[in-house]
Amino acid sequence: MRTGQHDPFPFRYIDPRMKSESEVIVRPARHVRGGVSLPGDKSISHRYAMLAALADGPSRLENYSTGADCASTLGCLRSLGVKWERRDGSDNVIEVQGTGLSLTAPSKRLDCGNSGSTIRMLTGIVAAQKFASEMAGDESLSRRPMERVITPLTAMGAQITSQNSRPPLRITGAELRSIDYKMPVASAQVKTCLLFAGLLADGETRIQEPLRTRDHGEVALRAFGAHLERKGNEVRIRGGQRLRGIDVRVPGDLSSAAFFLCAAALFPGSQLTITSLLMNPTRARLLDILMQIGLRISVTQLEEIHGELVGTLQVAGGKLKGATIAGADTAALIDEIPVLAAIAPYMEQGIEVRDAKELRVKESDRIASIATNLRALGAKVEEREDGLKIPGGQSLRGAELESFDDHRIAMAFSIAALRAHGETLIRGSECAAISYPAFFSTLEGLIER
């Protein structure tokens, strides 16, 4: 049953018996105000956990991501003989006992859940182990392309079979040899996979990217004591290096912050503070684009923690303009494009997204998902093979939308719904737990009506 016009609660979950999905109803807002500290960055949490597993000695990871994807990584590591536990009565403080580069053969299939990061990056590690393993995931993950890691790892000496280049992956580990590899697709996950494999291989591995992608793999490896060389879009790593455990706090997730930043951008009177947020230069292009659109952002308390920049954002809403996202910007903003596109109709000039074909092979076909939901809200949108063109100056009306079992689509359209006329119902909203289980309650605490 849908909420009434005068219901005081902005979000209402509907969890019918006999149904496996949940729904959330979003009502229009007037302002976004307050402060928030976000769970640890997903990209960094995955990488820290994997490297902590390979290190000599223990590691303590504070503010580890609370999302289901990063829990999948921990589950796979436990199946590979890695001992870890939650400490201090908290879900986000993880202590990992490193194994010193050698893992244990799993007794069952490694369940990667919905996490493309887990299966792609961990494959680079298990490919170098002296045992066979199988990696699989849910229905969504089983549709995602894996040839981009299968091809280079096979060239390094691993044996990998798949279902038409999709999971499950059956991997027979081997003593890997180094490789010089030019990546055909810009992907930080693939780059990290090959860096991890290169760490465990014989000789020096060289990886060349077509476009610069986020560098959390390189930064994390250095934090654990590895030496890498970078020149332009090329990175090199020498095999056989030992890692040491670290004690570190994971910075707040910038991709999660994007939703709250875009919510603040919708309302000129909004004021928002986000503390201890990741400010990595290969991710911070989001902030440049938001300021270009019209959001006022200032950064304070900037510091470096194990090679990652961390700071506090002070944000004020402004008049929204518009933007074109293409080329290197598309690669840098691949996770944030859904929410930028979702609010594009409210901008003066809207948004054009190009060179984003990669969005079609995410948890959903995100180009199609965005276009479908925008049209349901009454927006005009041009869907293209590699992107979208969304005119500005539009008014949206509340509607019934689908999440397409994609966490970023569910969260993105909860933001778009804040300025629509009338209530919006989003089906399958529970998928937000993939990256941010507390997303809807956190957003509710920042909204004024």
What does the pLDDT look like over 30-43, one tens digit per residue? 999 999 999 999 99
The DSSP secondary structure of 112-153, one letter per residue, reads -TT-HHHHHHHHHHHTTSSSEEEEE--TTGGGS--HHHHHHH
Catalytic member of 335, 386, 405, 406:
335
Q: Cα(16)–Cα(4) distance, rounded to whole angstroms?
A: 18
CA distance linking residue 279 with residue 310, whole number of Å:
5
Its domain, for residue 234, covers 42-248
Residue whose C-alpha is closest to residue 438's, from 27, 29, 8, 37: 37
Summarised one tens digit per residue, pLDDT across range 62-86 is 999 999 999 999 999 999 999 999 9
The answer to whether residues 19 and 69 belong to one domain is no
Banded pLDDT at 11 (limits 50, 70, 90): low
Classify residue 6: in a domain, yes or no.
no
Q: Is residue 2 part of a domain?
A: no
Among 218, 248, 278, the domain boundary falls at 248
Number of structural domains in the chain: 2
Q: Where residue 235 sits, what CATH number does that domain have?
A: 3.65.10.10
Total Cβ atoms within 10 A of residue 2: 12
In a domain, 3, yes or no: no
Rounded to whole angstroms, the Cα distance separating 253 from 121 reads: 19
Is there a single domain that holds both residue 188 and residue 100? Answer: yes
Cα→Cα distances 86→47, 66, 90, 91, 96, Å:
17, 12, 6, 6, 9
Task: For residue 5, tell me if it sits in a domain.
Answer: no
Among 248, 267, 288, give the residue marking a domain's end. Answer: 248
- Evaluate if residue 3 carries a pLDDT over 80: no
- Do 5 and 405 form a contact (C-beta atoms < 8 A)? no
Tell whether 208 and 175 lie within a shared domain: yes
Which of 215, 248, 281 is the last residue in one of the domains? 248
Q: List, for residues 145-187, the tens digit of each pLDDT value.
A: 999 999 999 999 999 999 999 999 999 999 999 999 999 999 9
Same domain? For 33 and 133 the reply is: no
In the block, residue with structure tokens 């209530």: 423
Residues 216 and 267 in one domain: no
Q: Which residues have CB under 8 Å from 17's CB, separation 6+?
A: none
Model-level pTM? 0.91
Based on the fold, state whether residues 20 and 48 are members of the same structural domain.
Answer: no
Q: Is residue 223 part of a domain?
A: yes
Q: Is 355 a catalytic residue?
A: no
Tell whether 306 and 191 lie within a shared domain: no
List pLDDT tens digits, range 228-281.
999 999 999 999 999 999 999 999 999 999 999 999 999 998 999 999 999 999
> Does 50 lie in the same domain as 34?
no
The answer on 20 and 110 residing in a single domain is no
Do 181 and 300 reside in the same domain of the chain?
no
Whether residue 385 sits in one domain with residue 258: yes
Instruction: Determine the residue type at 235.
Output: V
